Structure formats: C-alpha cells, structure tokens
C-alpha cells in the first residue's frame, strides 16, 4: 500500500464521512440535480430546527419544561429521517416497487390501531399511536405508502387505464378507505392531503381526464361534507370569510389573526432571530402549524422568500430530473411525492397568510413533528432512488454484467453505451 493510500485510510472520521457521501453521489453525471435536491432538503430541515428552537422555547419555559426538549427531539427525528432518506436513496427501483403492498398494509393496520387503547387524541384529533413512550402519527406514513403502492398498480395497468373500472379499482377503494379512517379521527387537513395524493397519482399515471375529473369532484364534495358536519370547522371557515368574531370564546380566528400580526410586524428583514413577540403565548402551538408566521416575524420578508425559493428550487430540480426517464413507475412516484410536499407547503403557507381557512397542516421540513419530518425525508429518499442515473439508462446497460464492465472502466460487450453517460468512470 502506498503512502497516499495509507493517508486516505487513516483520515479523520469527519473526512471519511464526507468521502462516503461523495461515493454516494459518484454515479451522478455532470449536470445532475440530485445533489441540489439533497442540499435544498437539508437546508430546509436546518432552518426548521432553528425555528422550532425559537418558537417553542417560551411555551416550554412557561410550562416548566426544558426549553431545549422539543428542539432536541426534533433534531433526533431529523437525523433519523436523514438516515432513512439516504438508505432509501441507494435502494434499487425494483425494491421500492416491491415495498408498495407491505407499506400499504402496514399503514392500514397502524391507522386502525389508532382507535384502540394504543391510540391517543391531540387537540381533538385522534390520529396518534403511543407505544412504549414513543408517539407516532400513522397517517403521515400512509401518504408515502399510498404513493408507492398506487404507482406500482398504475404502472402495471397502463394498457387498461382507458377503461374506467381499471382506472378506479383498486386505487379508489384503497385511497377512500385510508381517507375514511383518517376522517373518523377528525383530521380534515390530512384527509385533504391524502385526497390530493390520490388525485396526483391518477393524473401522473395517465388516467383519462373524464375519470380523473369525476374522482376529483367526489373528493371535493366529500371535503365539503366533512367541513359542514363539524361546528369547529365551520366556525373557522366563517371566521376566514369575515362572518364571525376573531376573538370569540372558541378562538376560531384567534390563531390566524395573530399569525397575520406576526407576518406584518416582520417587515423586510424581521425583528431578529429568536426575537418574536407573537410566540409569547399569543399564537398557540407556534412551533407546529403556524411556525411560518414566527419565521416571517423573525426573518422578515427576506427569510420568507428564502423558504419559498427553496421549495421552488426543489420542485424545479425534481421535475427536471424525472423528465429524463421514461419509466412510468419512477415518474409517478417522484412527481406524486413532490406534489404532496409542495401542495402541503402551499396549503400551510396560504393558511398562515390568510388565503385559506385554518386547516391544521404542518409545513414540510419546518414544523415540529417527528412523524411528518421522517415521512417527508423518506419521500425525498424515494425520489433520489428512482432518479438515480441507473434508472435513467436503458435496461441493457443496467444489467449486472454491464455494471461489472463499467466498474472496470471498459464498455460492456454487445451493449451500446449511452453517449451522455459513456466514459463516466
């Protein structure tokens, strides 16, 4: 072994970690946007950790708790989510496809367990499991499970999607069952996100617009019925429409009003990191759904636009990357996951800024919540998996024999190299 090899082998742990990350990205061709996707997601997660620490500190101190308790928990779940993301990113596409049924069945079982003694209610919504001191929200993981499963089903039924029965079954019943279980737990916000996910998978899967439109109309009617059958939800809608008092006894518009105050007082560059006034018990649970208002107050318009810009860059990078493949399963999965994340971000920001009534949807990568963070990072891991360069090269080049020859720097016999990826090694 030469001196250079010894030096590389005895390098510091931090450098070895960076080297492993470089190996993880070594297959990416010049101009690949996958490293950009990873960088944007990690940046958003870091911003979320900082804002969770700022927004939760006051309420924690007032309750007599450690002000670092929630930030440390969020950091723990963020690290766990990043590990899961990187593991999924290295997983072959065929294995991601195989996970569809196990993930869906596991999610359904977990959702049903919410209504057993293992379940618990938080703020009127029964959508949590508590086992051994750990709590989790199964509906967050059901989003990704539904996407992977639906993509596999729609990929296999491509030739039959012209018939409405094949376009609706089994995607419609499975999606409807998940929405029904979540709705029974009084979580309208998550139910609407799952509706959006079902619509996205159908759209990207190539379902005929006639069937897609009918399914969308049914979802809209169902959402309206769920809202109309709850006095609390109707109160929020009336408050949003200006038909009720913003300071009534139930506080229907209290949270939204003070969220608007926070955004307005932020100005161009904010009042300073950690200096929010509205987090002093003016905005209940400021580190959850309304964390964007605290971010806007502390970092101002500049910080708000930075977060919006990062989400925009993430969307462009994902869609430009997936546009380079013709694999139907990969296209449906990647496009549906990014639609879920961006759609949820849009709803949350629109809710905080007063464009929509208060629904109760977390801001991906920013709001406090271990289940939401892990599931969102896992979704990004699936995107990175289905957009790997191997997934963008024709099947003959991806064969095991071709891989061995490429690892040695020689072209595979009888296989025509794709010009863009030739001579990468």
Which pLDDT tens digits describe the chain residue by residue (425 residues)? 444 444 444 445 455 655 555 555 555 665 578 899 999 999 999 999 999 998 888 888 877 778 888 899 999 999 999 999 999 998 999 999 999 999 999 999 999 999 988 888 877 778 889 887 788 999 999 999 999 999 999 999 888 887 878 778 888 899 999 999 998 888 888 988 999 999 899 999 988 887 777 777 877 787 777 777 666 666 666 666 666 554 443 444 667 777 888 888 888 888 888 888 888 877 877 888 889 999 999 999 999 999 999 999 999 999 998 988 888 999 999 999 999 999 999 999 988 888 888 787 899 999 998 899 999 999 999 999 998 875 444 444 344 434 433 444 444 443 434 444 333 33
Q: Indicate if the alpha-carbon torsion angle 402, 408, 414, 416 is positive or negative.
A: positive
- Cα dihedral sign, 361-366-369-372: positive
Tokens 């510091």 identify what position?
A: 12
Q: Which residues pair with 128 in a beta bridge?
A: 120
Write down the pTM of the prediction.
0.82
Among residues 250, 243, 256, the alpha carbon closest in space to that of 282 is found at 256
- Collapse the DSSP code of 396 into the 3-class scheme (helix H, G, I; strand E, B; otherwise coil) and give the result: helix
Q: Is 328 exposed, middle or buried (0-12, 13-18, 19+ CB in 10 A)?
A: middle
Rg over CA atoms, the chain: 23
Distances (CA, A) of 117 to 112, 113, 313, 338: 11, 8, 43, 35
> What are the domain boundaries of the chain?
40-90+253-387, 100-223
Q: Which helix (H) or strand (E) holds 302?
A: helix 291-322
Report the residue count for the chain: 425
Q: Which of 301, 283, 383 is nearest to 342 (CA)?
A: 383
E-strand spans in 64-132?
Answer: 119-122, 125-131
Q: Which single residue is written with the structure tokens 């609390």?
A: 232
Provide the token pair at 419.
Answer: 């010009």
Helices (H), 99-208: 100-113, 138-156, 164-168, 171-184, 188-205
Whole-number pLDDT of residue 231: 61
């Amino acid at each position: 072994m030469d001196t250079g090899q010894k030096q590389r082998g005895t390098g510091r742990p931090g450098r070895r970690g960076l080297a492993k990350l470089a190996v993880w990205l070594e297959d990416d061709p010049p101009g690949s946007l996958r490293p950009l996707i990873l960088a944007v997601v990690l940046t958003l997660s870091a911003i979320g950790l900082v804002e969770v620490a700022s927004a939760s500190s006051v309420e924690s101190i007032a309750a007599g708790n450690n002000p670092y308790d929630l930030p440390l928990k969020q950091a723990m779940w963020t690290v766990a989510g990043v590990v899961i993301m990187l593991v999924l990113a290295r997983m072959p596409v065929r294995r991601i496809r195989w996970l569809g049924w196990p993930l869906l069945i596991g999610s359904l079982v977990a959702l049903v367990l919410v209504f057993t003694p293992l379940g618990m209610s938080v703020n009127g919504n029964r959508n949590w499991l508590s086992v051994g001191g750990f709590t989790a929200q199964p509906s967050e993981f059901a989003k990704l499970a539904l996407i992977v499963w639906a993509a596999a089903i729609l990929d296999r039924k491509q030739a039959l999607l012209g018939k409405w029965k094949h376009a609706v079954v089994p995607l419609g019943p499975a999606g409807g069952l998940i929405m029904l279980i979540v709705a029974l737990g009084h979580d309208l916000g998550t139910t609407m996100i799952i509706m959006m996910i079902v619509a996205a998978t159908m759209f990207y899967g190539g379902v005929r617009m006639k069937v897609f439109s009918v399914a969308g109309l049914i979802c809209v009617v169902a959402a309206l019925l769920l809202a109309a059958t709850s006095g609390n939800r109707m109160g929020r809608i009336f408050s949003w429409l200006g038909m009720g008092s913003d300071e009534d006894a139930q506080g229907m518009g209290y949270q939204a009003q003070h969220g608007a105050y926070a955004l307005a007082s932020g100005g161009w560059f904010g009042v300073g990191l950690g200096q929010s006034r509205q987090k002093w018990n003016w905005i209940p649970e400021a580190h959850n759904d309304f964390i964007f208002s605290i971010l806007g107050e502390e970092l101002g318009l500049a910080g708000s636009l930075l977060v919006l810009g990062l989400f925009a860059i993430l969307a462009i990078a994902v869609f430009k990357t997936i546009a380079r493949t013709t694999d139907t399963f990969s296209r449906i999965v990647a496009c549906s996951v990014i639609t879920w994340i961006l759609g949820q971000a849009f709803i949350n920001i629109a809710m905080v800024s007063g464009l929509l009534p208060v629904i109760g949807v977390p801001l991906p990568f920013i709001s406090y919540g271990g289940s939401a963070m892990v599931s969102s990072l896992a979704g990004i891991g699936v995107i990175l998996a289905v957009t790997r360069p191997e997934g963008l090269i024709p099947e003959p080049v991806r064969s095991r024999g071709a891989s061995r020859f490429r690892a040695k720097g020689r072209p595979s016999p009888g296989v025509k190299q794709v010009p863009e990826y030739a001579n990468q090694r």
